[in-house]
Amino acid sequence: MQNTKSNIFVKKSILASLLVGILAILMFTFLRKGLILIYPILLILITVVFRTVYKQLSQLSILLALIGSIYSLFFNGGYISNVIMSLLIFYLPIIILLSPATKHLISLDKFMKITTKVLMFVNISAFMNFIINLYTHSVMVDDGFVGLYGQSGLIMHTLSLINFIYCVYFFYEKKIKKSTFFFLSGFLCFYGLGLVIFTIVIIILLLTKVSFEKIKYILISVLLFGLITAISNKINPKIFSYMKENITLTAEGFSNYSYEKQMKIARENKRTKVPRKITAFTGGLKRMTELEIFIFGTGSGSYNSRTSFLLNGEYSKLISSSKNKANRPAYAEIDIYPLWNRNITYQYNDGTRNQPFSSALALIVEYGFLQFLLISLLFYKLIVRLKNNSENPVFFKFLIIFLIINLFTENYIEYPEFFILVILLVKIIETDIEIAKNKSLNSIEK
């Protein structure tokens, strides 16, 4: 009987490892282009495999999301395709992330070992691509670190964030060579805003509890960062001037700012000095002063989410065809599409600062303030549940802080190559805790 149980456990372990390997290939290679099509299926599988439990607060959130979606369809001129797609690729990932998992599948250590092999292979291919591009100049230096990761989606932005996550994990595992490799990989993606956020979060974590060992790591990190910066400045000097320009323009954007003036310039397809991301947030918060939108939102997939753009007739070949009518939600048409459309992007090749994308903004405007409050409470409960119980609490803190800040800057929830990784890491950390508790109870009983 014992041998039978042991064999079943081994088979489950092998199957789990195989599934993780397949997922890693899907997330970290050019195959990720098709992930959006199977995103809901993968989310449902994650729910089943980890036996996710939807408690009262989650149930209330789900009920409110459904009521708000129905309301937008009947009273707000919403589109059924936007509602369904938003619920599946925007709301569903959030509620699965924040609802507790109860079934252990694989340890964090084993998960990271398997996925690291795939990510390292992808990074090595990107390094080779980058070096070849330095000599051939086939693309801009900023876009050279690609390799097997492919050109779809946000290209190196998500690859950068993924590498930074692995960098921090191995840093706190005291595997400095691996940590350095992943930091360098993330850095060479030349995603300026991602690097700034990563640096801020690391400084916060390192300075939370200062010890001699941490001071040593801080000094090593500063020296390493300085060395990589110096080398990168030789290879691609524009990256730092670009980052400085972004910070300066963002700071200037808050002084002598006029929302109406910025929207007028945008509607004329002229270049705005103030980052249009600021204008998008300003417009979204202005919308929240309307009671109906404050309670129910503008409707699922009807403002600045990726869903809104995929179905608006400019970014989907299917919707853009003559046989299909583009979905142009009223509030997005007024507030968001003038800030980001083909006339503007083709003229000015705009960067992150001008993109009106933000999962946080989409949540509060499309789903309403009450839903935003419920999701915030679920985030708080997740943090309380795991922050002191995780075997690697600092890594968990980094992951959550890093995620939350980045959700204000881009529609990352709707990019499965990044968000599935976050969901899996949280679920594994959560179920690792339960295994540790059970082992502790068994040892006490013995």
CA distance 128 to 121: 11
Helix intervals (H) in 271-368: 276-287, 291-296, 306-310, 317-320, 330-335, 342-348, 359-367
Question: For residue 445, what pLDDT band results from cuts at 50, 70 and 90?
Answer: very low
Question: For residue 446, what pLDDT band results from cuts at 50, 70 and 90?
Answer: very low
pLDDT surpassing 70 at residue 87: yes
Structure tokens at 236: 């691609």
CA distance 267 to 202: 39
Question: For residue 243, what pLDDT band results from cuts at 50, 70 and 90?
Answer: low
Model pLDDT, residue 247: 65
Between 313 and 373, the more confident residue is 373
| 37: nearest Cα among 295, 416, 438 | 416
b or e along 391-409 (b: 16 or more beta carbons within 10 Å of the residue's beta carbon)?
ebebbbbbbbbbbebbbeb
Question: For residue 270, what pLDDT band results from cuts at 50, 70 and 90?
Answer: confident
Percent of all residues in the chain with a pLDDT value above 90, rounded to a whole number: 57
Amino acid at 187: F
CA distance 322 to 443: 68
Average pLDDT, stretch 419-438? 84
| 122: nearest Cα among 163, 152, 154, 176 | 163
Between 342 and 41, the more confident residue is 41
Instruction: Write the DSSP symbol of residue 91.
Output: I
| 162: nearest Cα among 99, 125, 127, 118 | 118
Model pLDDT, residue 392: 80
Model pLDDT, residue 78: 87
pLDDT surpassing 60 at residue 324: no
Structure tokens at 109: 């250590």
pLDDT surpassing 90 at residue 289: yes
Q: Is 52 left (phi over 0), alpha (psi -120 to 50) or beta?
A: beta
Handedness of CA 52, 111, 431, 202 (dihedral sign): negative
Instruction: Write the DSSP symbol of residue 350.
Output: -
pLDDT tens by residue, 42-80: 999 999 999 999 999 999 999 999 999 999 998 888 899
CB 312, CB 86: distance < 8 Å? no
pLDDT tens by residue, 125-139: 999 998 888 787 776
CA distance 190 to 185: 9
Between 443 and 30, the more confident residue is 30
Which residue has 């191995």 as its token pair?
Answer: 170
Q: Is 299 left (phi over 0), alpha (psi -120 to 50) or beta?
A: left
Question: For residue 442, what pLDDT band results from cuts at 50, 70 and 90?
Answer: very low
Model pLDDT, residue 182: 96
